[in-house]
Amino acid sequence: MAKIIYTHTDEAPLLATYSFLPIVQAYAAKAGVEVETRDISVAARILAQFGLADDALTELGELAKTPDANIIKLPNISASIPQLKAAIKELQAQGHAVPDYPDDPQTPAEKEIRAKFDKVKGSAVNPVLREGNSDRRAPLSVKNYAKAHPHRNKPFADGSKTAVATMGEHDFRSNEKSVTVAADDTLSIVLETESGNTITLKDGLKVLAGEIVDATKMDVANLNAFLRNALAKAKADDVLFSVHLKATMMKVSDPIVFGHVVRAYFHDVFEQYGADLAAAGLSANDGLGAILSGLDALPNGAEIRAAFDAALANGPRLSYVNSDKGITNLHVPSDVIVDASMPALIRNGGKLWGADGSEDDTLAVIPDSSYAGVYQTVIEDTIEHGPLDPATIGTVPNVGLMAQAAEEYGSHDKTFEMPAAGTVRIVGSNGDVLIEHDVEAGDIWRACQTKDVPIRDWVKLAVNRARASQTPAIFWLDETRAHDAELIRKVAAYLPEHDTDGLDIKILAPTLATAYSLERMRRGEDTISVTGNVLRDYNTDLFPILEVGTSAKMLSIVPLIAGGGLFETGAGGSAPKHVQQLIEEDYLRWDSLGEFFALAPSLELYADQAGAPAAKVLAATLDRATGTFLENDRSPGRKLGTIDNRGSHFYLALYWAQELANQTDDADLAAAFKPLADKLAAAESTIVEELLAVQGKPADIGGYYFPDAEKTSAVMRPSATLNEALASF
């Protein structure tokens, strides 16, 4: 039976769901459309691992492999270890029988608990649901609104010192090796230590014929030398020091890299007190915030805190996530995510915020050089040609390779911090060595897989998008990088399977593709970026933030390989700040446009799946209502006294009801919605007053990671008039 599955996730998107979903379900019911929910929040996923809740994620993962799938997926937390621990603590305080997170599991029971938590942390949701490749773009209505009401991309000041610092050698990019597997096989990953021991890091690794297998390493000795030089440069140039990683998707490797940055900045502190911190279980990988919060339990905690304060005073100036609360760039590994933080820096004229809240030029440290050059290219282009003008520029939609966990670097159990020096090998079942690396103790080694079926589908999707939009498509692939070289061979083999006559399809290295796309943008021309998974994440934040001011307003469709659909609703990078504001002053600035855009094609798919033409009418009227919503500027305001997320939902409900009442394709729907449209229009001022009246005081939702449903519903649905209109409808 056809149905739409609307996911409960985390933070601001979850709060918005409490307001928007009752509207969706009321309207859908009139057209016979069934809308169900599944909770895939980080808290629910923790509970599921310990048998305390249904395993909704696994259920949806299986559904995504069928033609019946119709899933609306909102942004979710990709939990870093500090976030995971905070969620565990909250669940325990609420009375849920969740065990503590074992930092150093020793017993079989501890190892079993750790393995369950490992299934929750990092980008655990996306690889399960993404059984198709990504088609992500700014809807025409959003693009037109941005042109008519352009935001401001600030210019870089003359003589700006802002730049990207990256390793360029001895990193993941330069050490990468890649092979295409000739036949189905079962692989093992083993470490042969210099002392003669053999350590099996992973076995039973299934691969399919035609699959690309990669492996690489980060030389930590060179990483630490690079970090010392970057710190010295930031100090000498008197600019802010910031590090930009992806400790959510790269849930194993990037927290380790982050820990090296923390230790490099506070080198003297760790030299003197490292043993004390380690004995107390305070790890640099968890960030400065976790260390500082644990110092009170140490006999010499005050002394160590003073040492950290002195290092901050004497070292290069750090950028701050929240200067009012003293939260630095090094506080939490998941606070500064490169795909959101770097576009924000560029949009702000190359400046981040210092300890006193003022803006300054920044040395943006991106240790691995795989895609650091993309951001440096945008910085150089902006300095030379000025900021992009949203009123005139073209757009850069994306076709992203992500199906079946393609290129999920760091999001799996094939990433290791080397316990000893030696040689790591990927070995076939017949003993043949596919890939090997010499490593030192502490080096970060990781591998990933990319199946052939997703690559074929990716190439097909790129051609289809180029044909449908009559837009040039650029494969962002570098022939000098091992993995990309394997992909280029496959692209060359699969493109002839499709009609490409009259299409402009190129292959360019990422920095060249960036420059080419920017040049076309400035002429008002569009260019499709066809990328792998990690770069898909980066590009679908970078260009939308510069084009339309946010990545939350994107249309993100995942045509599933089995025939169903996954509809993603935008990025969630600013979600934590929105939750904090709601709790402090009952105002939610989250913009649900992504949800509006995802719902329309989901309804269209439902119409096809269920043979329900009324669902297609819902979709068409929702599209028109969203256009009116944008024309009338009903997105949440920036300050108290304006409508917030809840007010924007009311106006969408009003415009949607009016469109349904006025359409002529379905007389029954028109008759059903006419009274509601009239009632909402007549009550507009009352509803807005009720929504504004709650602003300015704290709100209690009963939890951050697992809020109380009754309390949250009361906070997110404060208009009795609107609630009554929907209930009586």
DSSP 543-565: HHHHHHS-STT-EEEEEBTTS-E
Question: Degrees (nearest 5) of the Cα angle 109, 113, 118?
Answer: 145
Structure tokens at 291: 């260390």
For residue 248, what pLDDT is reported?
Answer: 79
Phi and psi of 224, rounded to 5°?
Answer: -70, -35
What pLDDT was estimated at residue 39? 97
**Beta strand 177-180 with 422-427: parallel, antiparallel or unpaired?**
unpaired
The residues, any chain, with a CB within 8 Å of residue 337's CB and separated by 6 or more, are: 244, 245, 246, 247, 248, 573
Give the closest residue to 330 by CA, choosing from 376, 274, 263, 278.
263
- Residues in the chain predicted with pLDDT less than 70, given as ranges, are 409-412, 571-574
pTM of the predicted structure, to 2 decimals: 0.87
The predicted structure's pLDDT at residue 589: 93
Total H helices, total E strands in the chain: 27, 24
Radius of gyration from C-alpha coordinates of the chain: 26
Q: What is the pLDDT of residue 407?
A: 81
d(CA 271, CA 269): 5
**How far is CA 181 from its chain centroid?**
30
Tally of residues, the chain? 729
- Token readout for 697 is 């005081």
DSSP per residue over 407-471, as a string? T-TTSSS-EEE-SSSEEEEEE-TTS-EEEEEEE-TT-EEEEEEE-HHHHHHHHHHHHHHHHHHT-
**Angle subtended by helix axes 593-610 and 613-631, to nearest 10:** 160
Q: What is the DSSP string of 624-688?
A: HHHHHHHHTT-S--SSTTS--HHHHHHHHHHHHHHHHHH-SS-HHHHHHHHHHHHHHHHTHHHHH
Question: What are the backbone angles phi and psi of residue 643, rounded to the nearest 5°?
Answer: -70, 145
Contact 39, 5 (CB under 8 A): no
CA-based nearest residue to 403, from 212, 266, 532, 541? 532
Give the contacts of 727 (CB within 8 A, at least 6 positions apart): none
How far is CA 590 from each of CA 74, 87, 390, rounded to the nearest angstrom? 12, 22, 21
- Dist CA 174 CA 536 (whole Å): 20
Q: Which of 232, 190, 184 is nearest to 215 (CA)?
A: 190
- The sheet carrying 177-180 orders its strands as 177-180, 212-218, 444-450, 415-417
What is the structure's pLDDT at 573? Answer: 57
Which pLDDT does position 145 carry in this prediction? 87
Quickly tell me which residue has 């002392």 as its tokens.
Answer: 195
Q: How far apart are CA 83 and CA 323, in angstroms?
A: 20
DSSP letter at 157 equals P
How far is residue 211's CA from residue 185's CA, in Å, rounded to a whole number? Answer: 10
Q: What pLDDT does 571 receive?
A: 65
Nearest to 636 by CA among 540, 526, 549: 549
DSSP conformation letters of 77-117: --B-HHHHHHHHHHHHHTT--PPPP-SS--SHHHHHHHHHH
Pairing of strands 433-439, 422-427: antiparallel
HSE-up of 587 (CA within 13 Å, CB side)?
18
- In 299-414 the beta strands, taken as DSSP E runs, fall at 320-322, 327-328, 351-353, 359-365, 398-400
Rounded Cα–Cα distance for residues 703 and 484 (Å):
44
For residue 247, give the amino acid letter: A
Q: Please report, in angstroms and rounded to a whole number, the separation of the first and last CA atoms in the chain.
A: 25
Distance CA 70, CA 600 (A): 12
Tell which phi-psi region holds residue 410, choosing left (phi > 0), alpha (psi between -120 and 50) or beta: left
pLDDT, residue 556, reads: 87
Q: Taken in order 702, 705, 709, 715, is the CA torsion positive or negative?
A: positive
Q: 494 with 454: CB under 8 angstroms?
A: no
